[in-house]
Amino acid sequence: MTMGPQVFKRPRYRTPSAQLFTDEKMLRVPPYGKLIGSYLLIGQVNRIGLFLFSVGRAQEELGLSPKVFSDHFDIVTSTFGWRYDRDARVMYIPTWWRYNAPDNPNVLVAALEDLNGLPNTPLLNEFAANVRYLPPNLLETFRQRMGERYGERMGAQEQEQEQEQEQENSPQPPHGEGAEGDARHCVTAEFSADWLVATWNTLPRGIEPHQGKLGRNGARRLRRRISEDSVRTTKAWWLQYFMQVSRTNIMTGNETWYPPLLWALEGKNMEKILVSCL
């Protein structure tokens, strides 16, 4: 049997944005962090920003020791809010569609084939529910394809998103996901816990971005801080406080440390911040 000539596919190299190294968050990370951040965007990534990631391969290709890579990898993922499931070895870049949106529905369908072969991971849920940066003309196709793959899971996620949106648009006590109610601290505020987390993460510099929901511990701290002073029920107060946290000099001397949200909600830390700004 005569076989035809073999066709080899030319490897494709993804070109990072020209603004990558002038991004405010990228300016925040140390040199090795910039190297690792660039690698995450072009090294092992696929077409959807949810991909298998080998730490050992990354260390070898970048020529970094395990400790140097681990330390700076954590800085990069926390700074950008990127997610890594170490057990499943899956990396997820939630803002991927913002910079790499498919040109049309057909391209999106082809890109979603990259889901094949991924192990089971909670990051699949996050990916399926994250349509924030998808163009409107791709939403229906995305939801249809993800619905075919995950069925009931997608329906539950969409219902949860709708409930969160309703809560966001109405005054309510700032409960975190799964947080237990506490009558002593049930003070009505004009914002939700999700709004608080989102506002914290929009600060341009000086803080550590918060990943995921506020959680029970964070919601408990938030209720206590609000109950201590009625002025803390407004969005304006928290926005001003967060800006003060981002400019604080209390923890200077450690160039790799930035205050996390739960730290800022601790009573003694809040008192230090407020006193330092008087």
Question: What are the tens digits of pLDDT across the range 233-277?
Answer: 888 889 888 888 887 766 544 566 788 899 999 998 898 888 876
Half-sphere exposure of 7 (CA within 13 A, CB side): 2
pLDDT value, residue 240: 85
Q: Is 51 helix (H, G, I), strand (E, B) or coil?
A: strand
List all residues 6 or more positions away from 201 whose beta carbon is below 8 Å from its beta carbon: 81, 209, 210
| Residues 251/274/167/160 CA torsion (nearest 10 deg) | 10
Crossing angle of the two packed helices 152-168 and 136-150, in degrees rounded to 10:
130
CA–CA distance, 41 with 96 (Å, rounded to integer)? 9
CA distances from residue 214 to 41, 53, 139, 156 in whole angstroms, order as listed: 28, 27, 28, 20
pLDDT value, residue 167: 43
Tell me the residue type at 28: R
Q: How do residues 47-77 score in pLDDT, each as one tens digit?
A: 999 999 999 999 999 999 999 999 899 888 8
pLDDT value, residue 183: 35
pLDDT value, residue 39: 92
Residues of the chain where predicted confidence (pLDDT) is lower than 70: 1-24, 151-188, 204, 249-256, 277-278
Structure tokens at 251: 């923890």
How open is the CA angle 69-75-80, to the nearest 5 degrees? 125
pTM, entire model: 0.52
List all residues 6 or more positions away from 165 whose beta carbon is below 8 Å from its beta carbon: none
Structure tokens at 135: 């163009």
